[in-house]
Structure formats: structure tokens, C-alpha cells
Structure 1
Amino acid sequence: MIEKTLVLLKPDAVERNLIGHILVEYERNGLSVLELKLMKASSTLAEQHYIEHKGKPFFDRLVAYLTRSPLVALVLEGENAISRVRALNGTTDPADSQDNTIRALYGKSMSENTVHASDSTESAEREREIWFG
């Protein structure tokens, strides 16, 4: 099934000039970039993105991280894009990610894990609306 999913190349990826390296991995694996923008996220935007974590002790750290410097928001499309992107990204903690996943290669820590990807069709639609309107 052809799907669209939202991906964020988080501030630590942009700060370390990894945009091209990460995009190559997605494209090399048969995913197409439909939309892409480099931007500095506002606190309001970051709070909307992480709304399911509001009230948790780490919420403010998530918002501060996402807003500290520019990030890249993109929409990818392809066969089973949601599950494929999540597999390419690896687990949330880079130390636990399978070899050669984006987080294993480029993630710095659990809190600076380089990329975000939607985890379901519903999340992908909600997140695309947040980042691309």
C-alpha cells in the first residue's frame, strides 16, 4: 500500500550537517520526498507535535530540543512508508538500534536521536497537518 508519512530531521541532525546523508538513506530505499522544508519550530508547533506527552516530566525538554535550532520537516511517500521509515530509523535509543539504521549511525543519545517518524496512519495525517498545514 502506498503511504505518506511525516519525518523530522531534528536539530542535532541539522547542526551536524547530516541532512543529505539521511535523505540518501530514505531515497536509496525507494521512498520519494513529496514535501520538504527547513525551518525553526516555534514552541507552539513543538507543543502540538508532542501533545501526547504534555504533563510528563520530559515534555519541556522535548519542546526545548525541537526548538533550539532549525530542523527539516518532510513528507515521504512509498510502499508501506510508515513501517519502512520506522525500520530505517531504528529504535528511539540509538544504543539499542540495529546496525546501519539512521539512529545507530547518527543518533547521539536517547534525547538527541536525530530523526522522528510518524508511527501510524493517523499520526502521519495529524503530524503532516501540524507541519505543512
Structure 2
Amino acid sequence: MFANSVRAGLRAASRSSVRAMSTLPARSAPRFGAGIAAGAAVAGYAMYEASKNPVLLEGAKTIAGEKGTIKPDGVSRQLVGKIVSRFEERGYKLVAIKSLTPSPALAKEHYSDLASRPFYAGLVKYITSGTPVVAMVWEGKDVIRQGRRIVGATNPLESDPGSVRGQYAVSVGRNLIHASDSFDAATKEIGLWFDSAELAEYEPTAWGWVMADN
């Protein structure tokens, strides 16, 4: 189960998103009428509490929630199932998933840290082009760092051959998926794209076998 303090934080983030993104079209807004977040990177990591010991983010044995988004090119190329299977086969738990076409307001908020970069306008135009994206939240040990490894380097030509980008992409502009690169980024993105009620609490049948340390 997600730690109560983390879920409370997500609820607060969602409420903040509602206030900040109240101009989003109703059809694109989650239950709070707020925004969404798109980034196939594993973003907005909600902490997962599996023991009485403190959970350390980005540590060797971190348990966290990761936000990822399959971009329009990944959806158009019909790679959604193959990308999802990479995380499932590793043993990570799918906490939330949905398909949507992000609004310009959502896209700008999601990529706000890149607003000063020359490619920002093109990135927003691309992600809101009309082809849907698939937003996801994954959970498990060290999922933020390991999720980034599954996805591969931003430049597919520098990605490991076994990664998603290393196997299926060749261009930075069409690198298939976004994954959050930090706890703060993941928290922000999960709050943008999902209402806390959309984050499922359950335990897969093999969860204990996958996550146990002994």
C-alpha cells in the first residue's frame, strides 16, 4: 500500500493542479477538473511503504512509484503493449494507466522546466498533435532509476541495445517514451496526470516473490 503521507501529498498536488490548470477543457480533465501529465518517463514517484524501515529515494533498494508516458510516436507505431511488457516482465506493478490527448496547457505545465529551451515550442506542438499518449504509474523497488534504465538514454543512439529506445528508436525527437528523472519530477507529474483516486492499491500474486530480500 502507498504510504498515507505520500497519498496525502498526491491529493494536495492534485488540488494544486486543479487551481493552476482550471482552464483545461473539461473533456481532458481528471475527476478534480484539473490537469493531466504526459511524459513517458517515469515521473511523479509516489513512495511505497513495504516495511517499517525508512524508504530512501534513489537508493540501492528504493521502493517508489514511477510516472511514465508513451508518446504519440510510440502509440502510432503500436508499441504500447511491448513497452508495458518491459516493466511487467521486470516485476514492477502497474498502479495506473490511461490514454488521453493532452491539452496545450497540460503539455506546457508538464514540460515547464524546458520552457527556455529552443525546442520547447516544437515539443509542446508534437505532444498535443492529436495522437493520444498513454500515461502510466509503476511501483516497485528502485523503480525510478531502474525505470530510466528500461527506457534508455534520451538520445536513442546512445541507449543500451536492450532498452526501449535502444531497440525501437533512432531520433531524439521521436524517442517513444518519457520517464521522470527524480522524486520531485515524478510527484509533480503524477499530480498533473492523475487524481489520487486513480492510483490502485493492490498486490499482484507474485509480488512477494519478486520484491522479497531473502
Instruction: State the TM-score, normalized to the length of structure 1.
Output: 0.97
Partner deviation per Cα, 1:38-70 (whole Å, 9 max, x = no partner): 000111111011001113211001101111110
Match for residue 40 of structure 1 among 82, 92, 101? 101
**Whose helix proportion is higher, 1 or 2?**
1
Correspondence 1:61 to 2:122: yes
Correspondence 1:16 to 2:80: no
In the alignment of these two chains, the number of paired residues is: 133
**In terms of Rg, which structure is larger?**
2
**RMSD between superposed Cα atoms in Å:** 0.9
1:83: which partner in 2?
Answer: 145
Unaligned regions of 5+ residues in structure 2, if any?
1-61, 196-214
SS in 2 for 1:38: strand
Cα offset, 1:107, TM superposition: 1.9
SS in 1 for 2:88: helix
Unaligned regions of 5+ residues in structure 1, if any?
none
**Alpha-carbon separation, structure 1, partners of 2:81 and 2:163:** 15
* Contact 1:108 1:114 survives alignment (8 Å): no
Percentage identity across aligned positions?
Answer: 36
2:181: which partner in 1?
Answer: 119
Instruction: State the TM-score, normalized to the length of structure 2.
Output: 0.61
SS in 1 for 2:95: strand
Cα offset, 1:97, TM superposition: 0.5
**Alpha-carbon separation, structure 2, partners of 1:126 and 1:65:** 21
